[in-house]
């Protein structure tokens, strides 16, 4: 059975389980239907926390198994051959489809300085972890796929952990790129991020956009981005609910870097009209109103 048929078969069975319809963030059963696919999968908005998510939802166990054994996103999951890796490292990944240059500039705009402790959450096979370390950050990674984490350690020489209890706290930055849209328990992930951060540290998350402004401009692209691989769509309303007590910033690509750099780390700031296809979200690990 190919991947799509296997997914649809699972959806048909799981859709009969009421637990798989509840919001994976807050557990609410109060939802609004946005759209359906193939009659057995649907996109819903939680009326309580505003998360947009695919139902039926994954259990933690199924999510772990899927991303360890089945998840395939090409260059982000395929570990390169020795020759390919040599070429990538020689170029420092610049100009490739794994280039973190834009994200490194955003971190600089946000005040993250070389030497700071940084956790690369969802490190895959280590290409981002390597670039963050190469840029001067004291970087370690976290990755649930043991095989990709092993490749990162053995071939790139970066530290990548596979169990949360292996990670010590005290980070200045919790960074993730196109990761948290995949996790089964978002609020737990956010809580863990804040636990790992030192006071005043910041969580920086890059994700595909689930904002209504993007959907209105690009309905076909919006429809393509949810399903088997991306069960959550992040949007401003959900972030604002989840981090109502923290200073926070949200922006979309192309990033208005001057406006991002002008943020003083206090209050809640929306940088632009959020019509871009990618979101940047930042939350400080301190209460609103404190510097």
Angle at the Cα of 138 (from 137 to 142), degrees rounded to 5? 105
Instruction: Say how far apart CA 50 and CA 243 lie, in whole Å.
Output: 12
Q: What is the DSSP letter of 55?
A: E
- Structure tokens given for 140: 């370690």
Instruction: Say how far apart CA 285 and CA 247 lie, in whole Å.
Output: 8
Instruction: Say how far apart CA 188 and CA 220 lie, in whole Å.
Output: 31
Block means of pLDDT (10 residues each) for the chain, length 291 residues? 84 93 95 93 96 94 82 83 97 96 98 98 97 98 94 98 94 97 94 96 97 96 91 97 97 97 96 97 83 43
Residue 204's φ and ψ, nearest 5 degrees, are -120, 120
DSSP per-residue codes, 146-198? HHHHHHIIIII---EESSGGG--S-EEEEEEES-GGG-S-HHHHHHHHHHHEE
- The pLDDT value given to residue 189: 95
Residue 266's φ and ψ, nearest 5 degrees, are -125, 155
Contacts of 8 (CB under 8 A, 6+ apart): 38, 40, 41
- Per DSSP, what are the bridge partners of residue 37? 41
Instruction: Say how far apart CA 25 and CA 259 lie, in whole Å.
Output: 30
Please compute, for residue 124, the number of CA atoms within 13 A of its CA located in the half-sphere on the CB side. Answer: 21
**Whether 149 contacts 162, CB under 8 Å:** yes
- The pLDDT value given to residue 256: 97
For strands 248-252 and 232-233, give the pairing.
Answer: unpaired
Helix (H, G, I), strand (E, B) or coil at 35: strand
- The pLDDT value given to residue 291: 43
């Amino acid at each position: 059975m190919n991947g799509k048929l296997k997914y649809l078969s699972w959806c048909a069975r799981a859709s009969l389980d009421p637990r798989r319809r509840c919001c994976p963030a807050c557990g609410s059963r109060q939802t609004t239907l946005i759209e359906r696919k193939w009659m057995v999968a649907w996109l819903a908005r939680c009326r309580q926390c505003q998360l947009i998510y695919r139902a039926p939802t994954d259990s933690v166990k199924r999510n772990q198994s899927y991303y360890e054994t089945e998840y395939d996103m090409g260059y982000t999951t395929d570990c390169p051959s020795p020759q390919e890796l040599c070429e990538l490292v020689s170029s420092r990944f610049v100009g490739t489809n794994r280039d973190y240059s834009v994200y490194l500039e955003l971190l600089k705009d946000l005040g993250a300085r070389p030497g700071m402790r940084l956790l690369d959450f969802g490190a895959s096979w280590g290409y981002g972890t390597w670039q963050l370390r190469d840029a001067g950050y004291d970087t370690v990674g976290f990755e649930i796929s043991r095989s990709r984490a092993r490749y990162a350690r053995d071939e790139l020489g970066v530290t990548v952990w596979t169990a949360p209890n292996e990670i010590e706290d005290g980070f200045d930055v919790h960074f993730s790129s196109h990761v948290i849209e995949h996790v089964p328990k978002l609020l737990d992930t956010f809580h863990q991020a804040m636990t790992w951060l030192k006071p005043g540290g910041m969580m920086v998350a890059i994700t595909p956009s689930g904002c209504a402004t993007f959907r209105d401009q690009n309905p076909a692209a919006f429809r393509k981005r949810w399903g088997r691989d991306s069960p959550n769509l992040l949007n401003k309303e959900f972030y604002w609910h989840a981090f109502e007590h923290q200073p926070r910033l949200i922006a979309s690509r192309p990033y208005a870097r001057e406006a991002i750099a002008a943020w003083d780390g206090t209050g809640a700031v929306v940088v632009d009209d959020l019509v871009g296809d990618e979101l940047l979200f930042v939350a400080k690990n301190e209460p609103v109103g404190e510097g």
